[in-house]
């Protein structure tokens, strides 16, 4: 049985999804109250498979690295742990994200009705650290959301990207009556996404989260709200 994943040259347009032309400011993202969903949204979230840079223990960041041979095997295996049907799936614009999802669903006859690519899910740019050996960064261990390596992005900026994505996703889920979504993403944005979904309080805990390649997370969201670890930005 062949997978029925829709992979078109032009993605299928969806109602009420604003284009990610830029990152919104905190004033644009500010919520007077949590945005409650009438029906909880189930999110199955995967980190991409191992890349050639992961295998070499190099910092990848925004580099558009390919999956390694082992990463392809991981991607096919994670498909066995997915549900058989998803009305909607999202990938980043980096090929390791989309390739992981495509191998997962095509190898396991998983039906994805609509596939969307969203740059707000892209891995954070790590500037001068990219393609360098992985190393300990004290600022991340301290939960510093404003630290950015030269030429790179801070987690505060990534948080604005991810929160904007979640607000649009919640709006879409309500309008299109979508109650389940599959997302294939990257370490940095997934830390923030889980921190928002779980209403995390401490940024140190958020930045300390580690997701293995093709780790599958199952989250259920009934609201989108500013979590405590981001409140000083949203309420400023």
CATH number at residue 214: 3.40.50.1240
Is residue 6 domain-resident?
A: no
- At residue 201, the pLDDT reads 97
**Structural domain count, the chain:** 1
Domain range holding 192? 39-234
- At residue 55, the pLDDT reads 98
Is residue 123 domain-resident?
A: yes
Task: Report residues of the chain scoring pLDDT below 70.
Answer: 1-22, 30, 236
Measured over the CA atoms of residue 151, residue 21, residue 233 and residue 194, the dihedral's sign is negative
Is residue 197 domain-resident?
A: yes
- At residue 60, the pLDDT reads 98
Strand, helix or coil at 61? coil
Tell me the pTM.
Answer: 0.89
- At residue 30, the pLDDT reads 64
- At residue 33, the pLDDT reads 79
- List all residues 6 or more positions away from 200 whose beta carbon is below 8 Å from its beta carbon: 194, 206, 227, 228, 229
Strand, helix or coil at 100? helix
């Amino acid at each position: 049985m062949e997978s029925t994943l829709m992979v078109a040259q032009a993605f299928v347009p969806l109602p009420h999804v604003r284009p990610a032309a830029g990152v919104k400011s905190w004033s644009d993202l500010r919520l007077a109250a949590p945005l409650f969903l009438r029906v909880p949204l189930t999110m199955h979230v995967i980190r991409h498979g191992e890349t050639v840079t992961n295998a070499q223990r190099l910092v990848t960041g925004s580099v558009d690295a390919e999956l390694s041979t082992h990463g392809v095997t991981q991607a096919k295996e994670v498909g066995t742990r997915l549900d058989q049907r998803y009305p909607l799936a999202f990938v980043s614009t980096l090929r390791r994200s989309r390739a992981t999802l495509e191998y997962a669903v095509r190898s396991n006859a998983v039906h994805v009705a609509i596939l969307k690519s969203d740059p707000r899910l892209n891995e954070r740019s790590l500037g001068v650290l990219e393609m360098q050996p992985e190393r300990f960064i004290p600022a991340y261990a301290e939960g510093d959301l404003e630290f950015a390596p030269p030429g790179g992005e801070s987690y505060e900026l990534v948080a604005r990207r991810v929160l904007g994505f979640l607000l649009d996703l919640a709006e879409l889920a309500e309008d299109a009556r979508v109650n389940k979504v599959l997302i294939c993403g990257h370490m940095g944005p997934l830390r923030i996404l889980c921190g928002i979904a779980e209403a995390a309080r401490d940024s140190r805990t958020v930045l300390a989260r580690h997701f293995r390649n093709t780790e599958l997370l199952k989250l259920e969201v009934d609201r989108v709200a500013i979590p405590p670890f981001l409140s000083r930005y949203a309420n400023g």
